[in-house]
Structure 1
Amino acid sequence: MLAGTPLGLTGCAGPFSTLHPAGPSAATAAMLWWGMFVLFSLVFVAVCGLWLYAMFRSPSIRDEAQEKHIHRRWIIGGGLVLPLACIVVLLAFGIPAGHSMLPLPPDEGEALEVHVTARQWHWDVHYPDGDISLSNEVHIPAGRPVDVHVTSVDVIHSFWVPRLGGKLDAIPGRTNVLRLQADAPGSYRGQCAEFCGTGHAHMHFTVIAHDPEDFDAWRTEAAGND
């Protein structure tokens, strides 16, 4: 097990790792993942401990009333109390975390609006503020919330930038909104996360986060070229 730990840890980083967040939404999702990992690791250890106890404990003689009392205690404790406690803990962390990832009005400034349309097998990107159109490339300012309006023209796709946020389905005839934000300038890989046909594996895109000043310069240049 220890020998395989370094190999397992290699999956915690990289362009498609949700455990290597580069934005607030992705950091919240990673925090939830680690919280669930710790919680259920404790449950796993407890279950293994009880199994070992049951296997190696010394037998004892009890009357029928004692047996019923012990059985009732395990059913209530293990079948009701433990699952309810786990659910309450998950909801206590999950509901506020999910609320923080919603595309709500930011505390300061305004969110940038970007429209993304999925089709087999590429992404059309449009900026209504500036009338800029791109393909398979999304430019955003670092440190500023971005609301990505996602839809599809053919089948169901899923817009996903693992290091910046969760994934969101692109559904024909419907527009869903995903809040993204990059903490720092850089290039972030994105991928369709819903099987959509023979070209699904190649339906990827790139999110490029600029310094705010560089983003304004890029937008001015891109609007002029269009």
Structure 2
Amino acid sequence: MFPKFTGMGSLAIVAGCSGDLSALDPAGPSAASIATLWWVMLAVAAVLFLLVVGLFLATVFVPHFGRRVTQGQWIIYGGIALPLPLLVLLTFFAFWQGEYLLRGAGPPPDDIYRVEAHGTMWSWQFSYPDAPGKAPTQDVLHIPAARTVEIAVTSGDVIHSFWIPRLGGKIDAVPGHVNYLRLRADHPGRYGGVCSEYCGTGHAGMRFEVEAFEDAASAAVSESEEWK
């Protein structure tokens, strides 16, 4: 029974790293940066855990191990000196990844595609200033693939949070304020999006879908036949 349970548990863990709303299955550069940071943090945490458990087992099973170390020395060397180098490296890596994301919010590239996302309880409406004549869409966002998309996020009532896990990080939709998010889908396809800020009884159903098309001309079509 134990091997069977282990296999099922491992399968469940692996399955949790993929899927339409998994931030660990990136499909764009911003999401890839976030996923990389997550995996590095997990690796550092695992190393620290193994070091602490190793010291504990050594004190239990190795005769006289650590008997001459005082309580204060255990705190200084084991609690501070041991994890400090790994935590410093992790901090610098996190700042480096954060700087990468901030650079993405710098001056817009020449081929940027602008979209407006307006959240209300409990749906999203998208409009397309760079696609004249395209009708607004509800709960379905059309974007071109392999191109930077700048999304102006607003709210008409309470605070919502706009999040497409496989394409980038989340950003709040605040009433009376415009927040900007830049992301890119590496390939055409469908990607799930959610509101990640509790906003009332309909919050769980405040989902939307992103359709990334081969080019901006296809994304500008109001009713696409490609997905039917």
Global fold match (TM > 0.5): yes
Distance, in Å, in 1 between the alignment partners of 2:186 and 2:42 is 25
Q: Would you say 1:38 and 2:40 are equivalent positions?
A: no
- Aligned Cα RMSD in Å? 2.3
Q: 1:149 aligns with which of 149, 152, 164?
A: 152
> Partner of 2:60 in structure 1?
55
Contact 1:141 1:210 in 2 (8 A): yes
> Partner of 2:87 in structure 1?
87
Q: TM-score, normalised by structure 2?
A: 0.85
Distance, in Å, in 2 between the alignment partners of 1:74 and 1:113 is 56
Q: Structure 2 stretches of 5 or more lacking a match? A: 224-228
Question: Taking every aligned residue pair, what percent have the same amino acid on both sides?
Answer: 44
CA apart distance, 1:180: 1.1
- Greater helix proportion: 1
> Which whole-Å deviations, capped at 9, do the CAs of 1:51-110 have from their partners, x for residues lacking one?
111222324897xxx65xx4443322233334432332122211121122232235x533
Contact 2:144 2:219 in 1 (8 A): no
Q: 1:20 aligns with which of 18, 25, 37?
A: 25
Letter in 1 for 2:107: P
Which structure 2 residues correspond to residues 162-177 of structure 1 after superposition, within 5 A? 162-177=165-180
> Partner of 1:105 in structure 2?
107
Distance, in Å, in 2 between the alignment partners of 1:83 and 1:155 is 42
Contact 2:117 2:153 in 1 (8 A): yes
Give the length in aligned residue pairs: 214
Q: Would you say 1:8 and 2:10 are equivalent positions?
A: no
Which structure 2 residues correspond to residues 146-225 of structure 1 after superposition, within 5 A? 146-212=149-215, 215-219=216-220, 221-222=221-222
CA apart distance, 1:15: 0.3
Distance, in Å, in 1 between the alignment partners of 2:202 and 2:81 is 48
Runs of 4+ in structure 1 off by over 3 angstroms are 59-62, 70-73
- The change in CA–CA distance for 1:104 and 1:60 in structure 2 (over 3 A counts) is closer
